[in-house]
Amino acid sequence: MRPGRYAFIFDMDGTIVDNMPFHAQAWAEFFAGLGVGISPGELRARTSGKTSEEILRDILGPHLSEREVAEYIERKEELYRAAYLPQMKPIAGLDHFLSEAHRLNILMAVATSAGERNIHFVLGGLGLEPYFQVIVGAEDVRWGKPNPAMLLTAAHRLEVAPEGCLVFEDSLAGLEAVRRAGMRAIAITTTHAARELQGLPAVIQVIADYRGLNPASLLEMLGGSGSAFNQPT
């Protein structure tokens, strides 16, 4: 790790886009098609932060073959993409926030439980891929959140120490991963009410969206400042 480097790391679903209701709808429709009944509350608890493979093996059983897992994942994701495509947009204020952070030379990464196709579906569809030096997804790690592997992998690839990373996250599992990684977080209220997020160990601020959020102020909190932030030494 190189000293004096700082980074913003973004979860994707529920953090870059407010799409979690569409994932929940797709999972419910998928499991119903298999004759598996599961309540909305249980579904949310058993899917939050996990990779699709982890979800399938948890709910359907560890006996699933790799072929079955791949087939089921694609079936569910087709349902999700078809439902969400007409509604897809970034969370309010995100475009300006990313543009300003880029102007300040802040290193940025995405660390998400989503697979490669869904990552490109969202980031490519919204034209946001150029903002991120590193993208870590389900194929890059063995465990989803709350395991910190995704976040630590992103930090390692950026060559930034964990304490130099500020994570943007919406889920309780994701925020627990932030804590385990030794990072700090901005929590976004797309999935949980503010009262559920305030006071969590890693959370320094709770926001509804990115409007009014100042990258320079966050940069100063991390220990960097000015347009020379993260310039090569």
Report the C-alpha gap between 167 and 146 in whole angstroms.
Answer: 13
Report the C-alpha gap between 86 and 107 in whole angstroms.
Answer: 31
Who wins on pLDDT, 50 or 35? 35
Report the C-alpha gap between 156 and 160 in whole angstroms.
Answer: 6
Model confidence at 229, pLDDT cuts 50, 70, 90, reads very low
Residue 1: its pLDDT value, please?
Answer: 61
Of 220, 209, 229, the closest CA to residue 168 belongs to 209
Say whether the peptide bond before residue 146 is cis (omega within 30 degrees of 0). Answer: yes
Q: Is 231 a residue whose pLDDT tops 50? A: no
Report the C-alpha gap between 190 and 172 in whole angstroms.
Answer: 12
Q: Is 222 a residue whose pLDDT tops 90? A: no
Residues 166 and 120 placed together within one structural domain of the fold: yes
Residues 214 and 125 placed together within one structural domain of the fold: yes
Decide if 72 is inside a domain: yes
- Helix, strand, or coil here: 206? strand
Average pLDDT over residues 51-80: 94
Length of the chain: 233
Our count of domains for the chain comes to: 2
**What pLDDT, in 10s, does the model give residues 144-181?**
899 999 999 999 999 999 999 999 999 999 999 999 99
The CATH number given to whatever domain includes residue 64 is 1.10.150.240
Decide if 213 is inside a domain: yes
Q: Is 21 a residue whose pLDDT tops 80? A: yes
Q: Is the pTM of this model over 0.75?
A: yes
Q: Which amino acid is at 18?
A: D
Residue 94: its pLDDT value, please?
Answer: 98
Residues 13 and 126 placed together within one structural domain of the fold: yes
**CA distances, 68 to each of 62, 75, 136, 143 (Å):** 11, 10, 24, 19
Model confidence at 225, pLDDT cuts 50, 70, 90, reads low
Helical segments of 48-171, H only? 52-60, 66-84, 94-103, 116-119, 125-126, 149-158
The CATH number given to whatever domain includes residue 172 is 3.40.50.1000
Domain boundaries, position 104: 7-18+89-222
Of 171, 160, 147, 149, the closest CA to residue 108 belongs to 160
Residue 224: its pLDDT value, please?
Answer: 64
